[in-house]
Structure 1
């Protein structure tokens, strides 16, 4: 903040610290460097309160240029109802501007400039700093010069449909009721409304060609619907006690910032458009927060935000840069339905409920769980790219905090999670939930089919194998359910169910070669018992020998023969099973070695 020339000592004394005699000799960088020793407060509002009483960097005129009419004051500095103030406020204003006079500290009653053209005889600003208005109505007015309203106050202000061709400055302006700037056209380089205070602030459909600075603005209700800002927009440390509406606002500058803003009620940022970066860092929202349909071409910073309302919506939000939710805290699970996030940072994000990313597209990002507890993420029907899941200690994070249901994987690093996919994998549910519930079997099949394809895409063959086994388990369950279904063919379902069980027992769907070995031993022993009890062999040891020879007859030549057609058929059938099992073993072994 600028320090008015010649007033440093006075400011320091009023703020009350022991280095007041030094402050006049220190430069602003030196003050900043020694802030811990020299400054009694870092609160910008406190500094502004003193600055407002001691003047601005542009300085005030030493004396009023108009002729005194009573009590040593001119007509504009007398109370609006003073008996010697015999001209209308509008006429006094125009006469002063035509004469080139300043209007600092002027006092007006109900000043009506509706549909008027307000300009000066020179290019200097219309200087209404610290002016007082009972009511200022500039509806459809046109201001050809810059307008300065620093430190002024009014009961109400109407700038609806007004046009200001140069800079608008009103830092510290106080409005008891409503500041209505709907459809305002500000064509200057900057609109400066820092520390503005009003009950209601309305900038609906206003167009600001240059920069807009509303730092530390305080209002009860704020309406910035369809506001359009051509330059940088700053709303840092803003306080809105009740409802804030920024729906469909268009920020075309390099950035828009709401850092450290506080919203006491619902905050509506639905369908806003940002050409550059956007920041809500350290924002606190007591009500619902709606950023659905927002389009942000740059980065979006939501780090360290606190949302205590019942809803936090980011549905169909498109962020082309990095979406940073580091250390954010949500009282309920935020919703990212159909959002398109180029890169997301969920670093130590906390939510009292799953982060709902249904149908979202996340191309890249990092997910790190908070040190205490685990935030859940629901990626139902989502498309995931190279999203890295990491534990708080930077180790590989657990997939158990995520639900992948009918999810498409496009580069997801499954190879980092190979150790977490051993055994019975259940991607479609959280680790603390162990039942399928109402999940659709066809969707579960699709879930693991997509997971298998995603794992194969990144070369995680071992992980792909586990997903394939889970896919086949649910296909088997589908055949079983069809047996009891009133629709479809029972015979077809029975054949499918039997075939699936056969594949599972004999070779583990091509993924378990040891199952083929076990099944082969079962066939050998079964036929040995059959040979012994049918009398083909007199001893059990001989029956085992005959059974083994028949099983491998394809490899070592003609099988052992017995007497009678029935005995020959038994031997031939085992030879058939033997050839079948050997082929299965070669197939499954080759498949597993490749993985």
Structure 2
């Protein structure tokens, strides 16, 4: 009889803290074997029909089986033992390890082991499980397993599929620095404590659908394929410096989530997610589109210094962003907030990207149908940002400008609602033309030209200014509203039927008359100028009429004839009935004078109205 020659070599062990603490010499086997064998039956690679029985007996006796070898090992009976001694199979080489449908009461140590397949479906582990630095050649199946104590899968290499569907981890679950070459299935799993996947590499599809995380740590994890976290819940999630081939967090819920310096190389789907406190993507990079459609963000959403390269770069269509959304210093091509409700949007330029290509790129944020209640948007000179506010609602938003730049040149205002927006802060930019809708020719969006819709645009601007108590701005927008109404009449008249066209031309004529005579009731000075012009025109008409009927000028013996016609026109302008003195006996002259009196009364009434309206504003 001789002693087993099994002696573990340092190269058999991974460079992990746990193995550095092992005393290699203590792992040598002191079992005896026959003279014709170098290794005992436990460490022999020879097939032996009694191997299961031999290993089971040794494990039942609490022996450590470092480096044991077996084609198949069934632990279902052994694991149920009430012994407190661990099932110690560290550095073992096992074909199939079967622990299905049982309750394992003893700690299970498989650190450094090489195993083809582990079958552990519906197994309950009441003690610690450790597989640090193990190698799985074909696959593991822990479906519906329950880990009541800590489970360590750190540094494990999975060459085959890893199934943990519907698994429950009641204590910490550590799989950091693991390498998963194919797919991993954690569908329906529950992590009631720490779930640590830091520095783990996921080579295939990663299915974390409907997983419940309390404390998820995926720092510097790498997902070469799609990371599927659909319908999962996260109380505290950290994905800092993680790298995603594609990320799907659709219908998931977060209390807090951090994705600082993370890289998203495929589509990033956060549709319909809910965030209770905050989610941050500080300095994250997105090589494709980020989608937050229909999401509900009650807390803050932070994208400080994030970079977007997709087209569009990000989509928040239909989202409800109830907290503060910070877009400070981000770089992007296009982003959309169609139909979103944004409580606070802050987009401020912290510093321009170094790339000249980004500096000169015209970028668009689409706020179509969005409701922005508060915030600050940047309108900068280089790498300009443009905002499409079509059908949006703008609240107490402010614009950060550079070098006296007109912020409205960066806005596409079209059917936009203004909810207590402070126009008074931007009067210097709006006057003298008060154009809201004219966006820069450099903008990556077409200029809106529909006159009827522009009339509606200025109607909404007027209403918003009135609600905010800014009567001066409301007055200017009222003028723009009615002038675009006139343009709409003229545009429609060109293609209408002759009868309809005549009506439209008449409406446009009356509209123009109201504009030049009184500024639509907004400008008393226009009434005065129009009245004076009317008096001059009538004085010239009176000159012609008096000459035609052969009458001498009124008040001819009291001054120049030209002045007499002007005085007579002024008298006619302010009274309906002329005195019956001898110099005005012509029926035609008296009728024409009465007409001027009627027009004069109209102008006097119009002046009182416009003056009162002007003082009120």
TM-score (normalised: structure 1): 0.81
* TM-fit CA distance, 1:455: 0.6
Q: Which one of the candidate residues 486, 507, 519 is aligned to 2:530?
A: 519
Q: Work out whether residues 415 and 458 of structure 1, in 8 Å CA contact, stay in contact via their aligned partners in 2.
A: no
Match of 2:70 in 1: 87
CA deviation after TM superposition for structure 1 residue 451, in Å: 0.3
Say which structure is richer in strand: 2
The alpha-carbon distance between structure 1 residues 411 and 65, as it changes in their structure 2 partners (threshold 3 A), is: farther
Displacement after TM superposition at 1:516 (Å): 1.4
Question: Whole-Å Cα distance in 2 between the matches of residues 412 and 462 of structure 1?
Answer: 14
Question: 1:154-553 maps to which residues of 2 (within 5 A)?
Answer: 154-166=158-170, 167-183=172-188, 185-240=189-244, 242-251=245-254, 254-311=255-312, 312-330=314-332, 332-348=333-349, 352-370=362-380, 372-392=382-402, 398-432=407-441, 439-486=449-496, 489-535=500-546, 536=551, 537=553, 539-553=561-575
Query: Secondary structure of the equivalent of 2:323?
Result: strand
Q: Indicate whether 1:127 and 2:130 are aligned.
A: yes
SS of the equivalent of 2:534 reads helix
Contact 2:572 2:578 in 1 (8 A): no
Aligned with 1:334: secondary structure? Answer: strand
CA shift in 2, pair 1:491/1:420, >3 Å: same
Shift in alpha-carbon separation, 1:569–1:374, aligned structure 2, 3 A: same
> Following TM superposition, by how much is the alpha carbon of 1:313 offset from its aligned partner in structure 2, in angstroms?
1.5
Q: What do you get for the CA RMSD once the two structures are aligned?
A: 3.4
> Are 1:76 and 1:92, in contact at CA under 8 Å, matched by a contact in 2?
no
1: CA distance between counterparts of 2:118 and 2:479? 79
1:113 maps to 2:75: no
CA distance in 1 between counterparts of 2:258 and 2:46 reads 40
Label 1:236 to 1:165 Cα distance change in 2 as closer, same or farther (>3 A): same
2:45–2:69 contact (8 Å) kept in structure 1: no
Deviation string for 1:226-250 (max 9, x for gaps)? 242342011111012x322222223
Q: Structure 1 residue 88: deviation in Å?
A: 4.1
Contact 1:422/1:466 (8 A) holds in 2:
no
Change (3 A) 1:155 1:473: same
Q: Secondary structure at the match of 1:135?
A: strand
Residues in 1 aligned to 2:329 and 2:216: alpha-carbon distance in whole angstroms: 29
Whole-Å separation in 1 of the counterparts to 2:122 and 2:484: 76
Look up the SS of the partner of 2:204 in the other structure: strand
Instruction: Give 5+ residue unaligned stretches, structure 1.
Output: 1-51
C-alpha distance in 2 between matches for 1:442 and 1:78 = 90
Q: SS where residue 336 of structure 2 aligns?
A: coil
Inter-CA distance 371–519: structure 2 relative to 1 (3 Å threshold):
closer
Shift of 1:86: 4.5
**How far, CA to CA, are the matches of 1:87 and 1:455 in structure 2?**
83
Q: String of CA shifts for 1:170-220, please: whole Å, max 9, x gaps.
A: 11112233333233x234311111111121251332422421111110120
Which residue of 2 is the match for residue 39 of structure 1?
none
C-alpha distance in 2 between matches for 1:154 and 1:268: 27
Aligned length in residues: 533
What's the CA shift for 1:73?
10
**Which whole-Å deviations, capped at 9, do the CAs of 1:276-316 have from their partners, x for residues lacking one?**
21111111011222222222221111121111122222111
Q: State the 1:72 CA deviation.
A: 11
- Quote the residue 2:100 is aligned against: none
Tell me whether 163-172 or 483-492 shows the greater mean CA deviation: 483-492
Q: Tell me: CA distance 1:93–1:288, structure 2 relative to 1, closer, same or farther (3 Å).
A: farther
Please show how residues 19-34 of structure 1 align to structure 2 within 5 Å: none
Secondary structure, counterpart of 2:182 in structure 1 = strand
User: Per the alignment, in what secondary structure is the counterpart of residue 15 of structure 2?
Assistant: helix
Q: Could you tell me which runs of 5 or more consecutive residues in structure 2 were left unpaired when the two chains were aligned.
A: 1-13, 52-66, 89-108, 351-358
Change in 2 beyond 3 A, CA 1:414/1:319: same
